[in-house]
Structure formats: C-alpha cells, structure tokens
Amino acid sequence: MPKYSLVGYDSSDSARRAFRFAAELARDSGGRVRVVYVLQVTQGGADACSLMITDESRHRTQELWSELRAIAPEAADERVDLEITHGSPGDVLLNQVRQHPDIDHIVIGHTGRGALARWLLGSVSEDVLAGAHVPVTVIR
C-alpha cells in the first residue's frame, strides 16, 4: 500500500475525487499525501508573472486548505502537505517525484477533455502515465 501519494490538484470534481481517494489511502496505511496545485503562467513579462504568482499563491493557499478540509477533514491537517507552484502540470508532477524520493504513488483526476483540447493543451494524465516511474492512479 502506498505511503506517500502525490495528488495533482486543480479544484475540479475529478481532482477532488483524487484527493479523497489519496486521503483514504493515507488514513488506511498511516501514510501522507502531497497536494500540488500548479499555477500556469500564460502571458506577461517575468516581473508581472512573479508578482502574479506570489499574490495568487498567498491567496490561493488559504482557499485550498479550506477545500481540502471540506473534502477530508480527518486528513487535511495531519497527513497532507500542500505546495503551490507554477509550470506545466505534467512536468511539475514528474519533477515532484524526483525531488521527493519518498513519493511512491501519484493520483490524478481525469478531466475528460475532447480531442481538440487534448491536442491544444496536452493531457496531464497522458504525460504523467508516460513519464512516471511510480504507480499512477487516474480517477474519473
């Protein structure tokens, strides 16, 4: 049973289900959950992006803790690490596994985007499944 699950979180219904699943695993195994929320920078100069990320992450941290506590009140404080970062979600999740060698499982939600959206934006679940060297659970 996994001891340290990484959850890619974006506040979608599938991400909420993924977090609930990982929190239940952590509760049953005495493990932990690392929740990563990725801010995507789409335009603007480096200074503007830096300010946006700093301001957004400060505000978003409190909102995320509230969401996570509502989803799994028994796990949110005791078993959960939360990080807000920026970048490409698939790359960020794969880098998290490299940076935190205790992570032994990834849980992600599946958004069910259409073919055009996958072509334009890519698929986080496909990127993670292709590049992960730990087990991955995709929640629908």
The pLDDT, as a whole number, for residue 100 is: 96
Per-residue pLDDT tens, the chain, 140 aa: give them: 899 999 999 999 999 999 999 999 999 999 999 999 987 665 555 555 665 556 666 778 889 999 999 999 877 667 899 999 888 889 999 999 999 999 999 999 876 655 544 444 457 888 888 889 999 999 98
Q: Maximum CA pair distance of the chain?
A: 46
Dig out the tokens for 42 from the structure: 């789409």
Scanning the structure block, which residue is given the tokens 């801010």?
39
pLDDT of residue 83: 93
3-state secondary structure of 137: strand
The pLDDT assigned to 44 comes to: 54
Query: Domain coordinates of the chain in residue numbers?
Result: 4-139
Cβ atoms of 26 and 75 closer than 8 Å:
yes
**Rounded to two decimals, what is the model's pTM?**
0.84
The CATH architecture that domain 4-139 belongs to is 3-Layer(aba) Sandwich (3.40)
27, 74 Cβ separation under 8 angstroms: yes
Q: At what angle do helices 89-99 and 124-131 cross, to 10 degrees?
A: 30
Which contiguous run of DSSP H or E holds residue 75? none
Provide the token pair at 53.
């990320």
